[in-house]
Amino acid sequence: MSDPVTLAVVRGALEQITDEMDLHLIRAALSPIISETNDCAHGLYDAETGETIAQGSYGLPLFLASMQWTVQRVIAHARADGGFREGDLWFVNDPYISGTHLNDVVLVKPVFVDGELFALFANTGHWMDMGGAVPGGWAPSATEIHQEGLIIPPLKLCEEGRFNTALLRLIQANVRLPGQLEGDLKAMMNVFSVGARGLDNLIARYGVATLRSCIAEILDRSERQMRSYIADIPDGTYSFEDWFDNDGVDDVPLKVALSITVAGDSLRLDFAGTAEKARGPMNISDGTTISMCLVAIKHIFPDVPVNGGAFRPISIAIPEPSILAARYPSPVGGTTDVTQRVVDVVFGALAQAIPELVPAAPFGTTGVLTVTGKRPRDGGYFVAVYPYPGGYGASAGSDGLVNGTPPSSMARFMSVEMSEHRYPVRFEYLAIRENSGGAGLHRGGCGTAYGIEALADCTVSILGDRVDYAPFGIEGGGPAAANEVQLVIDGAEVIPAMRSKAEKLALKAGDRIRLASPGGGGFGDPAARPPAAIEEDLNNGLVTASNASGIYAASVTRSGELAGRPLYRVAR
């Protein structure tokens, strides 16, 4: 076993290497989905097992474990092809192999030391368009994967250092933004040299043997730490279920059911009872489901390092067919929303066992808005993508986060200034949505309301959820406000037939999009919330006077602190 100082230095260095890769790609990428919203990830993986050794902290949590499963599957393909060779570079976007959706492209590069395979680097980057029926890839009415874009099975983009230009040209011929795609690909490829430089320096300092020993110990320690936390959860089986509004094609709710069994220092998650595969795009692959379970558990135990050791105490059973184990040719464009519900049901189940550690449901929908068309100034084609921010659930310790990024993805909302510079749109408002957080002893975080005016002809698609089934509270806390989607077309207000899902709606200059994301659920009895906290919410614009006086009336009356005067907002 390595000494503690060496172990700490090596672990920090490995994490720094992957962090540096994250930052280099974010700064080098051409598309705003990476440079503005950080839709990417980088990691270092064991060359034999594919287990995660270290992963960057600036990329998306969604890729926390899905990249491990992708690397493990690419290893199998490489072995069938004779193994990895120096200069090889594999890539894949097949969601049944790599998880998530077609826009997330994974590159895997072997690392050799003195001619011997040492480890594997991998990264994921979201490409703005992969062809398909709907620009940007989010097609709410898709009924098969081919309507969502181009599928890339595990292939060698580089073979022993030789770049396959013909393969790149084939892909570019099938997408709407070929130049941007090539720029992002080259940026992703170049980042591997950044990782290699850092790893070479680390190997030169400690040697291969010491580094391998440290890596094994780092993974083992993460496993022991995770097991120690699980052992503190009371043994038993805890069940919970939640629903999707519809799948975008059939207006029928879809159930997500979960039972979590705690036995000693291990967890077993079983999704038996979950809806069978959806006809529309509300499906995800098994690797993505597994990853989201681990993301949820990592939220509860945040100090466990992100590596393969932390995953070992957890087993997951997913029925097939189901919306959580997509198989060809099921569409998967709703990945960004289906992943949110996996987090929600893990929280809902574990809140029954350890409510002091588990938050209420976060806003639960990425609600991706895609605006596409041609820029009037130069006729160039554009694809603008806006993932929802929203409110987080409250916990035993605090109110929920206001206007947060999705727990699964951390994909940030593109800045107003960048949007208005790049695209023919104008933001009418971007504001905190009052009264959207669930009431409770601790209040759920508020969601966001925003309005966009089209300045030119464009096409709009929206893929969201959480209209019919709002984010839930726990321990007596109230639900959050539900999702709201509205458009103003030719002066008339339009609500999509599927409420939060719409495909290729035509807008003209002057038409508007108005969206309001959910907040997070509340924690604890609203009657126990301190009146001073209620008044602070009022003054901060998080609740209105009528809402505060109604929901929290029992708290105010019982305390007597505000007796004889109404709640009020301080003038500023």
pLDDT means per 10 residues, the chain with 572 residues, are 88 97 97 92 97 94 89 97 97 95 98 97 97 94 97 98 98 97 98 98 96 97 98 98 98 98 98 97 96 95 94 97 96 95 98 98 95 95 93 98 86 87 96 97 97 98 98 98 98 97 97 98 96 93 90 66 48 42
Q: What was the pLDDT predicted at 551? A: 86
Q: What was the pLDDT predicted at 356? A: 98
C-beta separation of 549 from 566 below 8 A: yes
C-beta separation of 43 from 67 below 8 A: yes
Rounded-to-integer distance, Cα 117 and Cα 106, Å = 20
Tokens, residue 137: 């890839």
Q: Are strands 492-494 and 501-507 parallel, antiparallel or unpaired?
A: unpaired
Residue 266 forms part of a structural domain: no
Residue 310 forms part of a structural domain: no
Residue 523 forms part of a structural domain: yes
Closest to 403 measured CA to CA, from 448, 443, 466: 448
Q: Are strands 368-374 and 40-46 parallel, antiparallel or unpaired?
A: unpaired
Q: What was the pLDDT predicted at 1? A: 58
Q: What was the pLDDT predicted at 558? A: 54
Q: What was the pLDDT predicted at 462? A: 97
Coil, strand or helix at 96: helix
Residue 99, Ramachandran bin (φ over 0: left; ψ between -120 and 50: alpha; else beta): left
Q: What was the pLDDT predicted at 319? A: 97
Residue 327 forms part of a structural domain: no
SS3 readout for 300-367: HCCCCCCCHHHHCCEEEECCCCCCCCCCCCCCCCCHHHHHHHHHHHHHHHHCCCCCCCCCCCCCCCCC
Residue 344 forms part of a structural domain: no
Please state whether the peptide bond connecting residue 329 to the residue before it is cis, i.e. omega within 30 degrees of 0: yes
Ordered strands of the 448-454 beta sheet? 425-432, 448-454, 512-516, 484-489, 492-494
Longest dimension (CA), the chain: 81
C-beta separation of 465 from 281 below 8 A: no
Q: Of 163, 190, 222, at which residue does a domain stop?
A: 222
Residue 308 forms part of a structural domain: no
Q: Quick one: 375 exposed, middle or buried, by C-beta within 10 A (0-12, 13-18, 19+)?
A: middle
Domain hosting 366: range is 359-529
Rounded-to-integer distance, Cα 535 and Cα 548, Å = 8
Q: What is the torsion angle, in degrees rounded to the nearest 10, for the CA atoms of residue 541, residue 545, residue 548 and residue 549?
A: 170
Q: Of 171, 202, 222, at which residue does a domain stop?
A: 222
CB atoms closer than 10 angstroms to residue 523: 32
Residue 325 forms part of a structural domain: no
pTM of the model: 0.95
Closest to 248 measured CA to CA, from 408, 100, 461: 461
For the chain, the domain total comes to: 2
Inter-CA distances, 459 with 107, 248, 336, 424, Å: 31, 18, 20, 12
First to last CA, the chain: 61
What are the φ/ψ torsions at residue 284 (nearest 5 degrees)? -140, 160
Q: What was the pLDDT predicted at 411? A: 67
Q: What was the pLDDT predicted at 571? A: 42
Q: Of 187, 222, 257, at which residue does a domain stop?
A: 222
Residue 292 forms part of a structural domain: no
Q: Quick one: 392 exposed, middle or buried, by C-beta within 10 A (0-12, 13-18, 19+)?
A: buried
C-beta separation of 513 from 369 below 8 A: yes
CB atoms closer than 10 angstroms to residue 213: 17
